[in-house]
Structure 1
């Protein structure tokens, strides 16, 4: 296992290069292929606002790249990174190596909010209405879990928190099923099901700033709390003996993760397995130190979701496959492989 500082730096540089490369490839591939060289030349010209490379492509190519594909690929990177970071945080505070960002039921709350808007006619407001409904449902679910599961932050019991999340998730899932059953036409059902399986097809420039700001804020908070996260893995009693305010730290982590996941799920729907398997992949290479693990997961999560979204866009063009299907197809067998190799604990190996 590579744990030395030089090895870790090499990993970060490699992942950063892979992220940039995956972004360019993600922009190139779609219902119509755009040469990688064209994408690279256009992006350099756009970034430096100068004609560094001669323009030898059609004008409509620029619109496809800048207005459609770049926002989608960037949202993929933001969502993948955010899910991976929240996966690390949830696995830490629950001390559960198979926990994922949705363990508190936030995705079920978002699904209920979005489906309610779709079924009850609020979808006439467009993507904004569905996003607002999803965010409201996710936030409501997160608040309920926090209030009931932690008694307003006074009792951060892992078992109580997980069980509360499971119960609240079941309630919201039932509400979603009732709403789908009451749908008046098949188009509403199709929209509800497609959204619940995850989609990045509606990404636009104006909708990227909020999730990006939320992601970078939570990443900064998480890195600042990295030493506390390491101590939490030793157990709550040990952490208290070392003078750490366990309840306060867990409350910050829960609220931060809830806010970030609420925003991401509201934008993209429920995308599974990223927050579950990416932290374990990164632990295998950089160990369980959270300062290293968070940065590694940040980059790996973005790469993973960009690749999955590229597959979803190119498998049956011009139609998009819900991205949750692709992440499950890739993530499920990979996680089974990790279980078979006993590489699913907090240190990367059993």
Structure 2
């Protein structure tokens, strides 16, 4: 992609993301204008001394809506770049960030907190900690099972991920079946479908900095990701230590996905669909796939969360339902599009 076109696309997507976030903050039972939103934002950042916003508007914007919209953007971007990296790692276009058992492991951790009151000493952080711990333990097990004679087998990685996910899902279902807490069961099901309702400024810092770290690392290693698409022999010929790079991808993508799932629940299709869409638009060069996937993923999830908030208002629909409704038809259309194949931009 020409540098001018890439720069223009990045700037357009950034503008689109800012516009989407502004509109998402506006949507709700209390009407708020864009001017008020930006006045409150600038005042909180110390760039403006006076605003026309009332105290109630300031609280709604800064304490309730803005953290949720920012978290939606972070989660969407994180899942998108994780999906892109995993698809390059396994050279499989239907791989997603949850293929390593992250989602199932997080579900076990979250269910143990909601139904069994595990890690109660951690208070409000118990759910996030247990979900993250479950996700990381699942990935470690999958990683150990995938090693053959000290090397990582991609086939074994996929099979181990499927097997561990099934076992952990069975454990979650067993806890649900044995529980008599109707409210707890509903809470678990709601969490497993994804929700950003618990977004607070205190929950955004770790996901943001983890995303920033992994984004930078993946961007710096775009040549290795490109080489993986060409096959193991070609990548090895280019001087890439495949085992070391695979471990690098597994560790950091799992870390990012685990952190994200711990605060948002399991939100499907984002890490699967967005990388596909980006490759169809701009090709498979990961130098541009990573940043554009992040921006499109952020925009997509901001809009999905906004729809989840208003479609059955005043109640709230799990965001995973929205992403599945949007993602499934696109995926089916993509499969029917014969010109598309993994590894090219057509």
Q: Per the shorter chain, which TM-score range?
A: over 0.9
Confirm or deny that 1:36 pairs with 2:51.
no
Counterpart mapping for 1:86-125 below 5 A: 86-122=82-118
Partner of 2:342: 345
Asked if the contact 1:148/1:164 (under 8 Å) is kept, the reply is yes
Counterpart mapping for 1:1-350 below 5 A: 3-51=1-49, 55-122=51-118, 127-151=124-148, 154-342=150-338, 343-349=340-346
Distance 2:310 2:33 in 1: 15
Asked if the contact 2:40/2:62 (under 8 Å) is kept, the reply is no
Asked if the contact 1:280/1:344 (under 8 Å) is kept, the reply is no
Q: TM-score, normalised by structure 1?
A: 0.94
- Is the partner of 1:320 in helix, strand or coil? coil
Distance 1:220 1:166 in 2: 29
Distance 2:199 2:148 in 1: 37
- Is the partner of 1:244 in helix, strand or coil? coil
Q: Which segments of structure 1 move beyond 6 Å, counting only runs of 4 or more?
A: none
- Is the partner of 1:281 in helix, strand or coil? helix
Q: Please give the root-mean-square deviation of Cα atoms over the aligned residues, in Å.
A: 1.5
Distance 2:202 2:74 in 1: 14
Distance 2:10 2:232 in 1: 31
Number of residue-to-residue matches in the alignment: 344
Distance 2:341 2:80 in 1: 15
Distance 1:346 1:332 in 2: 21
- Is the partner of 2:100 in helix, strand or coil? coil
Distance 2:134 2:325 in 1: 27
Structure 2, unaligned runs of 5 or more: none
Write out per-residue CA displacement over residues 310-345 of structure 1, whole angstroms, 9 at most, x where no aligned residue. Answer: 111111222211100000011111111222223352
